[in-house]
Amino acid sequence: MTVHILEADNIDFRYIDGTKALKNLSMQIPWGKKIAVVGKNGAGKTTLFLHFNGVNRPEKGRILLKGRALEYGTRSLKELRKTVGIVFQDPDNQLFSASVYQDVSFGPLNLGWPEDRVRAKVAEALEKTGTWALRDKPVHFLSQGQKKRVAIAGVLAMEPEVILLDEPTSSLDPFYSGQIMALLDEFNQGGATVMISSHNIDEVFAWADYVFVMNDGQAIAQGHPQDVLSDEAALMRANLFKPWVLEMYQGMLAAGMIPPQPVVPRTREQIIGLLGQFGKEQTIIGIRVQEVNNYEF
């Protein structure tokens, strides 16, 4: 088994109007991880995601799935789409059935699963995305955030090995954003590779195992979130800021408030926990203890 479930190998892509959206882009997607692609508007994130699902075909270079180059025949694309599910940035491009239930059932029915399996998976996906109560609603009456959750349910119900989500939380309120990210965690723990694009750097820092920064059709940085999201030069080129949790952690370290931690805090809860543990009083006591040690021994 190759270590990369998906790979872009030196791809170029140009839209019909001549816009060169991807430029000699290479990207290797690690198997079974939670991956985030960040970058400013127009960086090429959506164009890339559509390559990984076979919607876009590179002008030059190759897309590989599990080490094998994609061919663009009907059978190859069908196989790809069974393995790689995509949730589009705009749910209006995804949903087309009369009712929510029909929409979420469409994919699993198309996979030829027995009816009881389809029913069970659809019910589970609706439950998990908080859309069960909406199941009989016409899709066009839903709010943007509800549509997004239904689109996610439709892809989850097919249980793909890889799920690509193009800005999954961009139209969701904080409650549902948190729920969706937790759901993606659960899906990943079940063995799936989950890849999102996002502008929400704090969410990415808290969630991702591996991050790519895209700019102008290329990947300009990649690696573990604490390394990549500390790279101010790369972040500036991508119009992004450091995650606030990281900024605060580094500030606390620089001020001598806390000792370096074995694991860098990534969430609000973790940094608040550190603040509680090394509040002002304890730090002063900590320094005094240190001084006493230095003087006496």
Ligand X SMILES: Nc1ncnc2c1ncn2[C@@H]1O[C@H](COP(=O)(O)OP(=O)(O)O)[C@@H](O)[C@H]1O
Q: Between residues 43 and 104, which has the closer beta carbon with respect to ligand X?
A: 43
Nearer to ligand X by C-beta: 63 or 245? Answer: 63
Which residue from 242, 213, 247 is spatially nearest to 229, judged by alpha carbons?
Answer: 242
Instruction: With CB under 5 A as the rule, give the number of residues binding Mg ion.
Output: 2
Q: Which of 188, 191, 169 is nearest to 178 (CA)?
A: 169
Q: How far is the CB of 252 from ligand X (least distance, A)?
A: 33
Within 8 A by CB and 6+ apart from 215, the residues are: 39, 40, 43, 234, 237, 238
Q: Which does 172 bind (CB under 5 to 8 A by kind): Mg ion, ligand X, none?
A: none
Binding interface with ligand X (CB under 6 A): 15, 17, 19, 21, 39, 41-47
Q: How far is the CB of 250 from ligand X (least distance, A)?
A: 28
From the list ligand X, Mg ion, none, which binds 41 (C-beta under 5 to 8 Å, kind-based)? ligand X
Residues in 41-70 at the binding interface with Mg ion, rule: CB under 5 A: 45-46
The residue (of 45 and 147) whose beta carbon lies closer to Mg ion is: 45
Sign of CA dihedral 97, 103, 107, 113: negative
What's the closest the beta carbon of residue 146 comes to ligand X, in angstroms? Answer: 23
> Residue 4 or 199: which CB sits closer to ligand X?
199
Report the residue number, 91 or 107, with the smaller CB distance to ligand X: 91
- Could you tell which of Mg ion, ligand X, none binds residue 94, using a CB distance below 5 to 8 A set by kind? none
Q: Nearest approach, Cβ of 256 to ligand X (angstroms)?
A: 40
With respect to ligand X, which residue has the nearer C-beta, 47 or 146? Answer: 47
Binding mask 9-48 for Mg ion (x = CB under 5 A): ------------------------------------xx--
DSSP letter string, the chain: --SEEEEEEEEEEE-TTS-EEEEEEEEEEETT-EEEEE--TTSSHHHHHHHHTTSS--SEEEEEETTEE---SHHHHHHHHHHEEEE-SSGGGT--SSBHHHHHHHHHHHTT--HHHHHHHHHHHHHHTT-GGGTTSBGGGS-HHHHHHHHHHHHHTT--SEEEEESTTTTS-HHHHHHHHHHHHHHHHTT-EEEEEES-HHHHHHH-SEEEEEETTEEEEEE-HHHHTT-HHHHHHTT----HHHHHHHHHHHTTSSPPPSS---SHHHHHHHHHHT-HHHHHHHHHHHHHHHHH-
Position of minimal CB gap to Mg ion: 46
Give the nearer residue to ligand X in terms of CB position, either 17 or 281. Answer: 17
The minimum distance between CB 205 and Mg ion, in angstroms, equals 20
Which listed option, Mg ion, ligand X, none, makes contact with residue 296 (CB within 5 to 8 Å by class)?
Answer: none
- Give min distance, CB of 283 to ligand X, in A: 43
Does 198 contact Mg ion by CB under 5 A?
no
Residues that bind Mg ion in the complex, under the rule CB under 5 A: 45-46
